[in-house]
Structure formats: C-alpha cells, structure tokens
Chains A and B, each alone.
Chain A
Amino acid sequence: QQQVKQSPQSLIVQKGGIPIINCAYENTAFDYFPWYQQFPGKGPALLIAIRPDVSEKKEGRFTISFNKSAKQFSLHIMDSQPGDSATYFCAATYSGNTGKLIFGQGTTLQVKP
C-alpha cells in the first residue's frame, strides 16, 4: 500500500518559533516530494518540493530536510508568522507518472501573535 504518514496532526507555536512537520514514506520508487499549503476555504497550493538526491532545500523561510535512508522528510518554517497559519500537506509522487500525488494526512498550524 502506498502511504505517506504525516505528523503531528496539529501544531501551535508562538510568532518567531520554528514549527517542524514530519513525513515518512514506504515506497522507495517515489522520487519527488512536494509540500502544499492550504488556507481555510481555499484549495491547496504548491509551497516547495525536493528530490531525494538533495538533502536540504530552502525557499525563503521554508526549508525541507530529506533523509533518504530513513525514508523521511520534514518541513521547517523559520521565524514563523501568524500569516503562516494554515494546513500543510506533504506528498510523494513518481516523476515518470502524470502528476498523481499521494498526500499525507495534513498538519494544521496555528502561529500565535
């Protein structure tokens, strides 16, 4: 069964804190790992993505860390802001397919002012 397991389910941090969201996958055929951000009442939108040949990728305040041997990857949000409050989904896919993604269960993040 193809699965992506995501934790924690919910997370509350103070402004300026560094929330960390973790994901683990089973299928070693996955070779592309995007993260999506979803605001209430909206559809998810691509935030950042990584391939397994890279151990870390940064885009602004968002960083993905990837551990291929452990089949785990995580999202860190540096200097978190109340505007980062949203639901975050990790996902996995095969670069050879047509974009079908397997999503994690989602993490609801609240950043308190």
Chain B
Amino acid sequence: NAGVTQTPKFQVLKTGQSMTLQCAQDMNHNSMYWYRQDPGMGLRLIYYSASEGTTDKGEVPNGYNVSRLNKREFSLRLESAAPSQTSVYFCASSLGLPNTGELFFGEGSRLTVL
C-alpha cells in the first residue's frame, strides 16, 4: 500500500522554466492538497481539491496552477519558476468529510530554482 506518491523527489530548474509535480493516492480519499514547507514558515497551503472536479486556492496560490485529473491524481504546475519558489513541496490527501484532521502526506519534492 503506497499511500501518497509524489514525483519527482528532486528537481533543479532555471528561472522561467516550467514544470509539473505529480501526486497520486491509493486510499480512495476525496480531498487532496498541495503544501509548501519553508524554514520558519511551517507548512503553507497552496491549493486544495475538496473533491474530484473541484479546486480552490489556499494561502499562497500565486505562481501555481493545479489539476485534479481524477480521484487519485492531483498535479501542481509552475508555469514560470522563480527563485522564491525554491521549497519542499508536499502533497497530502484526506477522507474529506467528516473532517478527522488527519492528512496523509507524501515524502515531498525538493525544488530548487536558480
């Protein structure tokens, strides 16, 4: 049982390049999330998808787009990467409702933008 799988685990980009982070979950969860983790800033929500077919902005959505491809997959796209987007990105999933407060996280994708 893989849980939440993110790819790639590491990526180096040049300013202005684009890329997509992929995420898939095999727990039949309804809700999926993208967070970024930066030192001293905690985990900040970028976008989330409460259910298949819906997406909403989180705290820090600027510079990102998302696609909920199906119930299993939720991708995060950087159209024109900037050094400020250097971070560790985590995908997570949850049952949705009822809200148990439990998110299941992937192992993260470390992105460096030069």
Give A residues with C-beta under 8 Å from B. 6, 9, 32-34, 41-46, 49, 89, 91, 93-106
CB-CB under 8 A from A89, the residues of chain B are 42-43
Closest residue on chain A to residue B39 by CB atoms: A106
Q: Dominant SS at the B interface?
A: loop
CB-based contact B50/A98 at 8 Å: yes
Selected contact of B101 from candidates A6, A42, A46, A106, CB within 8 Å: A46
CB-based contact B99/A45 at 8 Å: no
Q: Quick one: which of B17-49 are within 8 Å of A by CB?
A: 30-31, 33, 35, 40-45, 48
CB-CB under 8 A from A101, the residues of chain B are 43, 45, 101, 103
CB-based contact A98/B90 at 8 Å: no
Selected contact of A32 from candidates B31, B40, B59, B101, CB within 8 Å: B101
Q: Dominant SS at the A interface?
A: loop
Selected contact of B102 from candidates A34, A43, A103, CB within 8 Å: A34
Decide yes or no: A94 and B99 within 8 Å by CB, A43-B92, A106-B42 being known contacts.
yes
How many residues of chain B are within 8 Å of chain A by beta carbon?
32
Closest residue on chain B to residue A6 by CB atoms: B42
C-alpha spacing A32/B94, complex, angstroms: 15
CB-based contact A99/B43 at 8 Å: no
C-alpha spacing A6/B101, complex, angstroms: 18
C-alpha spacing A81/B105, complex, angstroms: 24
Closest residue on chain B to residue A105 by CB atoms: B42
CB-based contact B44/A43 at 8 Å: no
- Interface bits B80-114 vs A (CB < 8 Å: 1, else 0): 00000000001010111111111101111000000
Q: Which 6 A-B pairs have the closest CB atoms?
A: A43-B105, A99-B94, A34-B101, A103-B43, A98-B50, A105-B42
